[in-house]
C-alpha cells in the first residue's frame, strides 16, 4: 500500500500460556532477566488461554503505548523498553540493508492486547502477554528471527515469556554467557509429539495476591540456605530426566518429576526470610486429591503443579481422562468451567477410592479450566486486528 504520514502499519499475533513442570525461580541478573536454573514448561492450548496482541506503528503516533483489556498500561519500565529497543534494532538493521522499507523502527508503537481469561485468576498472564507483544512486533517489522532468537528478547520482558514463543514442550536454557544472549527457549518436542497431554486447572476461590514472583524469587536467592543446592544440583538433574521423559512419552516419570519440582520450588519459598507461602489449604487439598487418584489407579496418572499462587494445574494423559476427571468433577460438580463435552465423565468413584480425600477440595474451587497442550504463537489475519482505522483500540471480536 502507499504510505503516508498517517499510514498505520499493524500485525496481530496470539501467544499461549505456559505452565512449568520444572520451575523458574531466581535470577542471576535482574537486569538481564537471566535465571539461576533452566526450566521446562508445557504450552497450553490457546482455545482456552491466550493473549491476542495487535502491534501497530505510525509516523502519526506521538508515544509508545499499551492497552491491556481496555486499560492503558505503562511501558516506560526497563523491561518493556528493553524489548522495544531490541526489536527496533533488528528492524533498523533490515531498513539499513534495504532503504526501500518504510522506517518503522523510528515510529512510535501502539500495542493493544486482550486476554481470553481473567487476569485476576492468577494464571501466568505475563508470559503470554510478553510473548504476544514480541511476536506481534516481530511480525509487524517482518523480522526473520527464529522463535529462539525472539525468546532472548521476550525473556527480558518477563522471564517465563520466552517459553511461550513455542508450542508443545519447551525448555528455557539458563545459558552461561555474561551478556545473557544464550539464555533462550528451545522446543524439546512439538505439541504433536504428545498431543494427548491435558491439563485441569483448579482456580482457588480465595486467591489473594501474594508476594510477586519478581520480588519473591530474589528474596529466595538472597536468604534461602536450601536454594543454592536446588539451583545448582537438583534442577539440572531433573531437567535432563524431564527431557527424556517427554521424548519417551513416559507419563509416570513426567508426573513424578513435575510434582517433585513443584514441591521443591515451594519448599525454597518457605525457606525464604521471611517465608513465602503460595500454596494454601485448598492447594494442599488438591495435592491430596491427586495422591488419592494415583493411589487408587495404582500408578501416576495425574501430576499437580503450583506456580506462584494457590491454583492447581493437574496434568494427565487423555487415555486416563475418566479416572482423573471423575473424582475432580465429583468434588467440583457445581463449579463453573465444566463444558458440555465433559458431561459424560462418570463421577462415581472407583472401588476403594477414599472419598474423604476429596472433601477438603469441595467448596474451595471457584472455576475449573480444562485444556491441553497446544501450539505456539499464531499470526492473526489483519482484519482481526484490535485497532480501528484511526489506530485506536477496539475490543477483540
Q: Is 252 in the site for a second copy (CB under 8 A)?
A: no
| Least Cβ distance, residue 271 to a second copy (angstroms) | 4
Q: Is 240 in the site for a second copy (CB under 8 A)?
A: no
| Least Cβ distance, residue 230 to a second copy (angstroms) | 6
Q: Is 350 in the site for a second copy (CB under 8 A)?
A: no
Q: 158 or 280, CB closer to a second copy? A: 280
Lookup result for grid cell 472419598: 355
Q: 179 or 206, CB closer to a second copy? A: 206
For β-strands 39-43 and 71-73, DSSP reports them as unpaired
Identify which range of 52-60, 115-123, 230-238, 327-335 contacts a second copy by CB under 8 A. 230-238
Among 256, 311, 312, 357, which residue interacts with a second copy (rule: CB under 8 A)? 256
Q: Which residues in 278-297 contact a second copy (CB under 8 A)? A: 280-281, 284, 287, 291
| Least Cβ distance, residue 225 to a second copy (angstroms) | 5
Helix, strand or coil, per DSSP, at residue 363 = coil
Identify which range of 75-83, 192-200, 223-231, 337-345 contacts a second copy by CB under 8 A. 223-231
Kindly state the DSSP code that residue 361 receives in the 8-state scheme.
G
Q: 275 or 336, CB closer to a second copy? A: 275
Beta-sheet strands, E only, within the chain? 9-16, 18-22, 27-29, 34-35, 39-43, 50-58, 65-68, 71-73, 108-115, 169-173, 184-189, 197-204, 302-305, 312-317, 365-372, 378-380
C-alpha cell of 36?
A: 539461576
User: What residues does 114 pair with on adjacent strands?
Assistant: 52
Helix, strand or coil, per DSSP, at residue 301 = coil
Q: Is 266 in the site for a second copy (CB under 8 A)?
A: yes
CB-based burial of residue 97 (10 Å sphere; 0-12 exposed, 13-18 middle, 19+ buried)? exposed
Alpha helices in 193-234 (DSSP H): 213-223, 227-229
Task: Give how many residues touch a second copy by CB under 8 A.
Answer: 26
Q: Is 174 in the site for a second copy (CB under 8 A)?
A: no
User: Residue 353: which of 278, 294, 312 has the closest Cα?
Assistant: 294
Among 189, 270, 297, 345, which residue interacts with a second copy (rule: CB under 8 A)? 270
Q: Is 145 in the site for a second copy (CB under 8 A)?
A: no
Q: Is 307 in the site for a second copy (CB under 8 A)?
A: no
* CA dist., res. 306 & res. 325, Å (int): 18
Q: Is 260 in the site for a second copy (CB under 8 A)?
A: yes
Which residues lie near a second copy (CB under 8 A)? 225-226, 229-230, 233-234, 256, 259-260, 263-264, 266-268, 270-275, 277, 280-281, 284, 287, 291
Amino acid at each position: 500500500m502507499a504510505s503516508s504520514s498517517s499510514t498505520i502499519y499493524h500485525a496481530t499475533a496470539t501467544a499461549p500460556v505456559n505452565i512449568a513442570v520444572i520451575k523458574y525461580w531466581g535470577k542471576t541478573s535482574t537486569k538481564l532477566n537471566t535465571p539461576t536454573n533452566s526450566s521446562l514448561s508445557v504450552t497450553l492450548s490457546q482455545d482456552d488461554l491466550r493473549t491476542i496482541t495487535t502491534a501497530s506503528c505510525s509516523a502519526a503516533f506521538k508515544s509508545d503505548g499499551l492497552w491491556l483489556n481496555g486499560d492503558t498500561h505503562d511501558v516506560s519500565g526497563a523491561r518493556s523498553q528493553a524489548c522495544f529497543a531490541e526489536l527496533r534494532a533488528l528492524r533498523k538493521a533490515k531498513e539499513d540493508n534495504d532503504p526501500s522499507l518504510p522506517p518503522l523502527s523510528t515510529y512510535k508503537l501502539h500495542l493493544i492486547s486482550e486476554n481470553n481469561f481473567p487476569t485476576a485468576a492468577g494464571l501466568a498472564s505475563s508470559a503470554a502477554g510478553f510473548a504476544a507483544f514480541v511476536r506481534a512486533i516481530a511480525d509487524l517489522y517482518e523480522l526473520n528471527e527464529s522463535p529462539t532468537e525472539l525468546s532472548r528478547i521476550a525473556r527480558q520482558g518477563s522471564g517465563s515469556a520466552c517459553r511461550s514463543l513455542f508450542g508443545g514442550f519447551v525448555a528455557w536454557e539458563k545459558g552461561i554467557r555474561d551478556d545473557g544472549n544464550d539464555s533462550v527457549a528451545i522446543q524439546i518436542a512439538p505439541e504433536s509429539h504428545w498431543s494427548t497431554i491435558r491439563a485441569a486447572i483448579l482456580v482457588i476461590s480465595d486467591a489473594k495476591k501474594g508476594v510477586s514472583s519478581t520480588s519473591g524469587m530474589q528474596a529466595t536467592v538472597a536468604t534461602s540456605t536450601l536454594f543454592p543446592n536446588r539451583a545448582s544440583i537438583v534442577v539440572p538433574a531433573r531437567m535432563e530426566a524431564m527431557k527424556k521423559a517427554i521424548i519417551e512419552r513416559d507419563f509416570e516419570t513426567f508426573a513424578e518429576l513435575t510434582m517433585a519440582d513443584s514441591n521443591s520450588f515451594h519448599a525454597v519459598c518457605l525457606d525464604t526470610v521471611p517465608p513465602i507461602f503460595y500454596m494454601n489449604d485448598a492447594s494442599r487439598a488438591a495435592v491430596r486429591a491427586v495422591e488419592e487418584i494415583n493411589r487408587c489407579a495404582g500408578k501416576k496418572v495425574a501430576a499437580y503443579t503450583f506456580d506462584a499462587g494457590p491454583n492447581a494445574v493437574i496434568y494427565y494423559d487423555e487415555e486416563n481422562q475418566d479416572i482423573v476427571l471423575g473424582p475432580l468433577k465429583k468434588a467440583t460438580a457445581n463449579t463453573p468451567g465444566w463444558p458440555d463435552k465433559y458431561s459424560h465423565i462418570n463421577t462415581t468413584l472407583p472401588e476403594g477410592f477414599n472419598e474423604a480425600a476429596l472433601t477438603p477440595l469441595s467448596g474451595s474451587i471457584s472455576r475449573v479450566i480444562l485444556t491441553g497442550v497446544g501450539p505456539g504463537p499464531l499470526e492473526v489475519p489483519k482484519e482481526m486486528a484490535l485497532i480501528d482505522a484511526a489506530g485506536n483500540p477496539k475490543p477483540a471480536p
